[in-house]
Amino acid sequence: MRKIADSTVRRLSLYLRFLEEFEGQGIETISSGALAGRGGTTSAQVRKDLSFFGSFGKRGLGYSVPELVQALRQILGLTRHYRVALIGAGKIGSALVQNRGFRRRGFDFVAIFDRDPAKVGQELGGVRVEDVRQLEASLGRNPADIAVLVTPPEEAQSVADRLVHLGIKSILNFAPLQLAVPADVTVKTVNLALELEALAYHLANPT
Nearer to a second copy, 26 or 206 (CB): 206
Binding piece for a second copy, criterion CB under 8 A, among 26-34, 103-111, 113-121, 130-138 = 103-111
Binding piece for a second copy, criterion CB under 8 A, among 9-17, 23-31, 59-67, 126-134 = 9-17
- Indicate whether 25 belongs to the interface with a second copy (CB under 8 A): no
User: x/- site string to a second copy, residues 129 to 168, per CB under 8 A?
Assistant: ----------------xx----------------------
Nearer to a second copy, 158 or 186 (CB): 186
User: What is the rounded distance in angstroms from the CA atom of residue 154 to the CA atom of residue 27?
Assistant: 50
What length does the chain have?
A: 207
Choose, by CB under 8 A, the member of 15, 63, 107, 113 that binds a second copy: 107
Choose, by CB under 8 A, the member of 42, 51, 98, 142 that binds a second copy: 98
- Indicate whether 44 belongs to the interface with a second copy (CB under 8 A): no
- Indicate whether 117 belongs to the interface with a second copy (CB under 8 A): no
For 43, what's the count of Cα atoms within 13 Å in the CB-facing half-sphere?
A: 9
User: What is the rounded distance in angstroms from the CA atom of residue 60 to the CA atom of residue 123?
Assistant: 54
Binding piece for a second copy, criterion CB under 8 A, among 42-50, 71-79, 115-123, 129-137 = 71-79
Cβ 89 vs Cβ 129: under 8 Å: yes
* Interior/surface letters 96-133, b for 16+ CB within 10 angstroms, e for the rest: bbeeeebeebebbbbbbbbbeeebbeeebbebebbbbe
- Indicate whether 40 belongs to the interface with a second copy (CB under 8 A): yes
- Indicate whether 42 belongs to the interface with a second copy (CB under 8 A): no
- Indicate whether 34 belongs to the interface with a second copy (CB under 8 A): no
Q: Which residues bind a second copy (CB under 8 A)?
A: 1, 3-4, 6, 9-10, 12-14, 17, 38-40, 75-78, 80, 82, 84, 90-92, 94-96, 98-99, 101-102, 105-107, 145-146, 169-172, 176-178, 180, 184, 186, 188, 190, 192-207
